[in-house]
C-alpha cells in the first residue's frame, strides 16, 4: 500500500523487452533507496512494481504484459520521468489516501489553466471508471494523491498546488497527455458489497435513509 505522497522523481534509464513483457531500470538516486530491500514494492508512476535488483543510483523492476496493457507503462521511453514512492509502513503518517498501486485505467488530460499560483486540470476517465469518481473524493493520478473538485460525466477537475507541480511530474502534463488513474479503493469495495443482495444493503435503502440523494 501507498499514500500517494510522492517522495522522489526518477526516470526510465533502460527498457528491455522480454517475450511480451519488459524489464525496466529506473534511476532513482541513492538517497531514495538508501535502505532498499530486494522484493519491496515501489510505486512507479502510480504502478506498483517489485524491486528485483539494485543498481548504482537506482533499481530494476519487471513489468508484466497485463500491466503494460492496462497502464501508461506501455508508452514509457528511456528518459521518461516517473513519480516514485516506497511502500507505506504501519507507523507512517497517512498524508494522502490509501493507494494500492493497481492502476484502474488510463485517463486523458482535457485542459489545463492557471488559477492563482495553482493549475486547474480537467481530465477524462474511461467510462467504466466514471461512477467511482466523486466531488471531494480522492483519486490517484500518476501516483499522486489528489482531491477531486468537480465531476461532469466521465470528466473531472483537480487543482494542483505549486509544491506538487514542482516536486512531481504533474507539472509537465499538457492537454492530450495520458495518465495512470487509480480510483478510491473504498469505492470499489462499496460497489461490490452493494451487489450482494444477501447483506440487505442496496441503493434504494441508502437513498431512503439519507445516504444518497434522491
In this structure, are 173 and 206 located in the same domain? no
pLDDT tens column, 2-19: 999 999 999 999 999 988
Entry pTM: 0.88
What gap in Å lies between CA 102 and CA 86, rounded to an integer?
A: 14
Q: Which of 86, 113, 136 is the last residue of a domain?
A: 86
Quick one: pLDDT band at residue 207, thresholds 50, 70, 90? confident
Report the CATH number at residue 13. Answer: 2.40.30.20
Q: What count of other Cβ atoms lies within 10 Å of the Cβ of residue 141?
A: 25
- Residue 29, C-beta contacts closer than 8 angstroms, at least 6 positions apart: 8, 10, 57, 58
pLDDT confidence of residue 202: 67
pLDDT confidence of residue 196: 57
Q: Residue 99 gets which letter from DSSP?
A: B
163: which 3 cell numbers?
509544491
Q: Indicate whether 94 belongs to any domain.
A: no
End-to-end CA distance of the chain: 35
In this structure, are 18 and 81 located in the same domain? yes
* Residue 149: closest CA among 181, 123, 125, 185: 123
pLDDT tens column, 135-178: 999 999 999 999 999 999 999 999 999 999 999 999 999 999 99
Q: Indicate whether 93 belongs to any domain.
A: no
Q: Is 201's pLDDT higher than 70? A: no
Q: Indicate whether 99 belongs to any domain.
A: no
Q: Is 103's pLDDT higher than 70? A: yes
Q: Is 123's pLDDT higher than 80? A: yes
In this structure, are 119 and 160 located in the same domain? yes
51: which 3 cell numbers?
524491486
Q: Is 102's pLDDT higher than 70? A: yes
Q: Indicate whether 1 belongs to any domain.
A: no
Task: Report whether 83 contacts 46 (CB < 8 A).
Answer: yes
- Give the residue numbers spanning the domain of 200: 185-214
Q: Is 214's pLDDT higher than 70? A: no
Using the structure block, give the residue that is written with the C-alpha cell 485505467. 105
pLDDT confidence of residue 59: 95
Amino acid at each position: 500500500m501507498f499514500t500517494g505522497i510522492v517522495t522522489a522523481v526518477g526516470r526510465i534509464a533502460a527498457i528491455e523487452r522480454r517475450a511480451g513483457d519488459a524489464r525496466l531500470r529506473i534511476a532513482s538516486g541513492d538517497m531514495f533507496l538508501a535502505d532498499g530491500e530486494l522484493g519491496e514494492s515501489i510505486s512507479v508512476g502510480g504502478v506498483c512494481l517489485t524491486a528485483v535488483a539494485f543498481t548504482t543510483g537506482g533499481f530494476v523492476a519487471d513489468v508484466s504484459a497485463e500491466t503494460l496493457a492496462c497502464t501508461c507503462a506501455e508508452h514509457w521511453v528511456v528518459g521518461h520521468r516517473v513519480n516514485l514512492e516506497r511502500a507505506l509502513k504501519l507507523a507512517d503518517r497517512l498524508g494522502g489516501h490509501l493507494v494500492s498501486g493497481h492502476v484502474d485505467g488510463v485517463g486523458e488530460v482535457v485542459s489545463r489553466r492557471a488559477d492563482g499560483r495553482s493549475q486547474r486540470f480537467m481530465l477524462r476517465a474511461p467510462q467504466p471508471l466514471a461512477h467511482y469518481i466523486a466531488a471531494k473524493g480522492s483519486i490517484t493520478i500518476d501516483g499522486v494523491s489528489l482531491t477531486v473538485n468537480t465531476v461532469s460525466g466521465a470528466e473531472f477537475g483537480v487543482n494542483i498546488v505549486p509544491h506538487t507541480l514542482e516536486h512531481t511530474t504533474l507539472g509537465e502534463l499538457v492537454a492530450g497527455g495520458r495518465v495512470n488513474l487509480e480510483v478510491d479503493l473504498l469505492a470499489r469495495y462499496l460497489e461490490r458489497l452493494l451487489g450482494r443482495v444477501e447483506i440487505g444493503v442496496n441503493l434504494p435503502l441508502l437513498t431512503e435513509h439519507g445516504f444518497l440523494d434522491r
